Amino acid sequence: MDYGFVDCHCHISAREFDEDLEDVIQRTREAGVTTLVAVTEDVSEFPRVLQLQERHPDLLAPCFGIHPLQAGGGPGDPGSRSVKPQDLDAALPLFYEHADRLVAVGEIGLDFTPWCAPTQQDRDDQLSVFVRQLDVAKQLDLPVNVHSRSAAAVTIETMRQQGTSRALLHNFAGKPSVALEAVKAGYFLSFPPAVCRSSQRDKLIRRIPLEHICLETDAPALGIDPSVRNEPCNIHLPCRHIAALKGLSAEHVRVVTSQNAYRLFPKADRCR
């Protein structure tokens, strides 16, 4: 069976794509991407990602999720704040209402970066929101698409405690020993184009079995150049980088990572 690329974690509903979205989609298809797993960060994105799926049902695989970081407190505050339990209130009914269209719950997780979660209360609130969404995923029999910055070990242990069996740890940057704990739990790890400029993750990627690796872009973020908008068509960049590190062909990495993706997100297979 022929496998195109699967972008396992992409913010295609982000406002950065508003002005030329159809051109971005066209470039995505031309790059050989057959499935875009589209994550959300807050409830305002839920309708947008469903509308995109309606326009591109053979490409878009939608997820709903509330990110551990939310937009700043109001006008004049462009920064992020740690998520609060009430941020989830409006979202919860929508998970169940649109469950048949979702391929995963995400982007969810933990971000304990000191300037994003400076207090214990912030970390407790993130954990509460994370656990509630893990429970939703379990109820709906969906995998989770997970953010774990400065919190990889806690994130993995929380999922294990909650009985989460299917998870993608996106843009994983934890220690190799922690990554292997994720592998032992049966989870997958994905890497965006930015890994091509991060030699510290080369050792990590070499240690993780290819059977537990997926590809992502995290577009519009995490491209080769931080000052340039990233797009899903750049999915070939982490593929080639991983192939070079493992001494494999890029084609082999593409096929195996896509097989991994459809195993993790079985409902996304309908996009092909």
The DSSP code for 115 is T
Give the pLDDT confidence score for residue 271 in this predicted structure: 62
Q: Could you tell me the pTM of the whole model?
A: 0.95
> Which residues, in sequence order, are bridge partners of residue 149?
111
| Single-letter code of the amino acid located at 266 | P
pLDDT of residue 73: 55
| Residue of 168, 196, 216, 167 whose CA lies nearest to 9 | 216
Residue 40: helix, strand or coil by DSSP?
coil
Domain membership of residue 82 (yes or no) is: yes
Tell me the mean pLDDT in the region 97-121. 96
* pLDDT value for 75: 46
In a domain, 206, yes or no: no
- Please tell me the least confidently modeled range out of 126-130, 133-137, 163-167, 198-202: 198-202
Q: Does residue 129 or residue 2 have the better pLDDT?
A: 129
Task: Count how many domains the chain has.
Answer: 1
Domain membership of residue 73 as a residue range: 5-189+255-271
Tell me if 224 sits within 8 A of 210, measured CB to CB.
no
Give domain status of residue 167, yes or no. yes
**Is residue 93 domain-resident?**
yes
261 inside domain: yes
Q: Is residue 228 part of a domain?
A: no
Backbone angles phi, psi at 202, to 5 degrees: -60, -45
Distance CA 110, CA 87 (A): 15
Indicate whether 74 belongs to any domain.
yes
Q: Is residue 208 part of a domain?
A: no
Between 33-37, 79-83, 92-96, 170-174, the lowest mean confidence (pLDDT) is in 79-83
Give the CATH number, domain containing residue 9.
Answer: 3.20.20.140
**Average pLDDT of 116-122?**
95
Distance CA 157, CA 188 (A): 15
